[in-house]
Structures are given as structure tokens and as C-alpha cells.
């Protein structure tokens, strides 16, 4: 059973978030049950998923790999749209859904395997970490791990509380 959603008229921070995005956000409306958590989550999420040492495409690939592994419908829908904006094509999206990373570049394959292993087991193999070391700096690996970590948080929040994309 899904948790009720807070009306933006009951939470000024939520109202401001939705005014900026110009659309209701079920994730934020549920998190608004804990206003302080919502207020601290938003800037943290922006710091992790915003500009950094990884590019937008890499972050969307990692987020989608985690969300698909966790079968999070809400995050998969949201990040599929973001992936398209980051230049990830329909064939690549289908390959991600099938966990077939063979058509991706060597750095992207390393990123995807790491994201999936970290999501599935919370402890990636030495091979997965070694592959990252061959393509990414320490700063990038930390950033990637933050992206996968926040994806896993949002996936579990959505799946645990029954938050689905609009229309589902």
C-alpha cells in the first residue's frame, strides 16, 4: 500500500520545489512527511548528480544501471528521460535493460559493471574495481560511488513506499 502524498499547500519547501519544476513530484510529496529530510536531501542530491568530474552521460548510465537492477519503476522512468537528454539512444537503453554492456565503450562497461555489482551485492569485486582504476581517477570513482549510492537510496525509498511514476 502506497504512503499518502503531502499537498504542497502544507509544506512551503515542497511548494517551492514544485513551482520551480512546474510539475508534481510524488517522491518529494512522500518525503515531505519528514520535512527536514526533504530539505537536506534536495541539495545533497543536486551535489551528487549535478556537474562534477563525471559527465552527465556517465552519471545517467550509472543511475539507470542501479535502478534497473533494483527494478525501481519511478527512478527508471525519471532517469530514462534524463538519459535521453544526455544523448543515450534507444538501442543503448534497451541494452541497459538487458544488462548487455558489450556495445558500450570500455570505460562505460567498467562503470556499468561496477554500478550493477555495487547495487546487487554492496561490495563490488576486485575485478570491477580494477576496471574502474584503469579508466577513472579517484575523484571520479568516489563520485560514481556517490551516484550509485544515491540511486540505491531513492530506489529503496520508492520501492519500499510504493511510489510509482504517474499513470502506473
Q: Is residue 149 domain-shared with residue 74, that is, in the same domain?
A: yes
Count how many domains the chain has. Answer: 2
Distance CA 39, CA 50 (A): 17
Residue pLDDT tens, the chain, 168 long = 678 999 999 999 999 999 998 989 999 999 999 999 999 999 999 999 999 999 999 999 999 999 999 999 999 999 999 999 999 999 999 999 999 999 999 999 999 999 999 999 999 999 999 999 999 999 999 999 999 999 999 999 999 999 998 765
Is residue 166 assigned to a domain?
Answer: no
Distance CA 69, CA 152 (A): 10
Q: Is residue 33 domain-shared with residue 105, that is, in the same domain?
A: no
- Give, for 31, the enclosing helix (H) or strand (E): helix 26-31
| Listed residue (122, 117, 137, 150) closest to 49, CA to CA | 150
> Cβ neighbours of residue 164 under 8 Å, at least 6 residues apart?
2, 26, 73, 74, 158
Amino acid at each position: 500500500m502506497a504512503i499518502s502524498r503531502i499537498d504542497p499547500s502544507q509544506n512551503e519547501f515542497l511548494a517551492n520545489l514544485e513551482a520551480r519544476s512546474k510539475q508534481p513530484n510524488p517522491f518529494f510529496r512522500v518525503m515531505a512527511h519528514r520535512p527536514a529530510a526533504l530539505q537536506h536531501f534536495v541539495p545533497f542530491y543536486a551535489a551528487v548528480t549535478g556537474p562534477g568530474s563525471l559527465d552527465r552521460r556517465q552519471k545517467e548510465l550509472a543511475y539507470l544501471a542501479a535502478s534497473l537492477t533494483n527494478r525501481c519503476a519511478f527512478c527508471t522512468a525519471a532517469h530514462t528521460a534524463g538519459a535521453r537528454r544526455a544523448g543515450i539512444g534507444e538501442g543503448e537503453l534497451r541494452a541497459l535493460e538487458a544488462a548487455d554492456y558489450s556495445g558500450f565503450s570500455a570505460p562505460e562497461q567498467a562503470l556499468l559493471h561496477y554500478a550493477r555489482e555495487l547495487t546487487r551485492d554492496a561490495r563490488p569485486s576486485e575485478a570491477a574495481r580494477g576496471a574502474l582504476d584503469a579508466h577513472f581517477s579517484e575523484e571520479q570513482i568516489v563520485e560514481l560511488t556517490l551516484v550509485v549510492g544515491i540511486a540505491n537510496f531513492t530506489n529503496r525509498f520508492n520501492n519500499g513506499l510504493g511510489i510509482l511514476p504517474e499513470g502506473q
